[in-house]
Amino acid sequence: MMLYTCDYSGCAVKNCEDNGLLPCLEGNTFQDCEHIKVVNIESNSETDDEQNYEYEEDDTDFKSIISSRNLIKFENIKFFGLENEPSIATLIGLPNSGKTSLLTSMLYMLRMDNEQNLNFMGSSTLNAWSNLISLTLYAYGNTPRHPERTIDKPNTQYLHLLINKDDKPYDLLLGDTAGEIFSGIVENNDIESQEYERIKKWVSETKTLLICLDSSDYYTEDIWISKENHMIFIDRLAEIIADFNPEVSIVFIQTKYDKVDENHENFQYHQEVNDYFIEKFSRNLIGIAKTISITAKQGVPPEDIDKILSLCLINTPLLEVHSQEDMDKNILNEVTSIHQHLKEWI
């Protein structure tokens, strides 16, 4: 199946099939549009690295999932939760709000001394991490460490980390969304749309939403990242959360916060959006974090990343070795045999 997507953030053509009826805001025919790109999800034209970034094949069993190096499908997260619920956190935000940079910073933070005593203990998605970091480094454009745009995929898929905090282990699954699906619902609040369906799925599956707002964006005159559009984004997101996952925890992340300092005259806009966000999500909000633009502050350790990771983990019970009796109670019948096979390793 050939899918097509439009690079222009305001265009509704996102991962659509060529059925001859594709809309184009520019009024172009589909073939003439200069922004259109093919997203060929089933071709073999991808490089090896790109293939590795894809999730595992459909016929995977628990063993290959648990020792896999590639992205984890949502339905396979259960294998990490045979004894304890794993933590699931999903990064969401408008395009270029720093979601993917935040992910790579998380990985980096786990290798550094940090206030939250978090350490990297392993990952079942090593290749996916490697490819994510490679894409970050060698992305288009001249600025170092500026990630490539995250491509929206039909299925949700997650990166995995095993994190040690204060000598206790936690499984954390991290979802990275494509910003374009959120700009899609700002432009067109159609509950039948592909973007709406994608967001609904991400929001429904997660336990913690890491909502990123680019602190430097509110002041620009670009209609797509204006204060008003940020507020529309907040409104639409609040509606989806209320409908599909009202108990989800939310961490509000003000990304590129260092750039606020350079825009004192517009600080009020920043404050207005932030206040609006906090008012809208006060019931679900478990933390607020500010991260700097690592592109701008090269060499400076990313701030608050360990705090964000810790907030993701507090929603998860500890991974502890239970008594056999306790385990038997917790384990669902359908996975008993799997657990039997994996119990020493888990």
Name the minimum Å distance from CB 240 to other proteins. Answer: 32
Name the minimum Å distance from CB 343 to other proteins. Answer: 9
Q: First vs last Cα of the chain: how many Å apart?
A: 38
State how beta strands 168-176 and 36-39 pair.
unpaired
Number of H helices, E strands in the chain: 11, 11
Backbone dihedral angles phi then psi of residue 276, each to the nearest 5 degrees = -65, -45
Which CB sits closer to other proteins, 8 or 170? 170
| Distance in angstroms (rounded) separating the CA atoms of residues 1 and 34 | 21
Name the minimum Å distance from CB 144 to other proteins. Answer: 4
Name the minimum Å distance from CB 324 to other proteins. Answer: 15
Q: Distances from the Cα of 276 to the Cαs of 214, 230, 279, 336, in angstroms?
A: 15, 10, 5, 47
- The residue ranges that bind other proteins (CB under 8 A) are 63-64, 66-69, 104-105, 107-108, 110-111, 119-124, 126-127, 129-130, 133-134, 136-140, 142-145, 162, 164, 167, 169, 294, 297-302, 319, 321, 344-346
Which CB sits closer to other proteins, 60 or 204? 60
What value, to the nearest 5°, has the Cα angle with vertex 306 and ends 261 and 69? 120
Which CB sits closer to other proteins, 126 or 240? 126
| Distance in angstroms (rounded) separating the CA atoms of residues 152 and 180 | 8
Q: Is 231 exposed, middle or buried (0-12, 13-18, 19+ CB in 10 A)?
A: middle
Strand, helix or coil for residue 48: helix
Name the minimum Å distance from CB 186 to other proteins. Answer: 30
Name the minimum Å distance from CB 119 to other proteins. Answer: 4
What value, to the nearest 5°, has the Cα angle with vertex 80 and ends 328 and 133? 170
Which CB sits closer to other proteins, 128 or 181? 128
Which CB sits closer to other proteins, 132 or 273? 132
Which CB sits closer to other proteins, 206 or 293? 293
Six-digit token pair at 289? Answer: 């974090």
Name the minimum Å distance from CB 111 to other proteins. Answer: 5
Which CB sits closer to other proteins, 131 or 216? 131
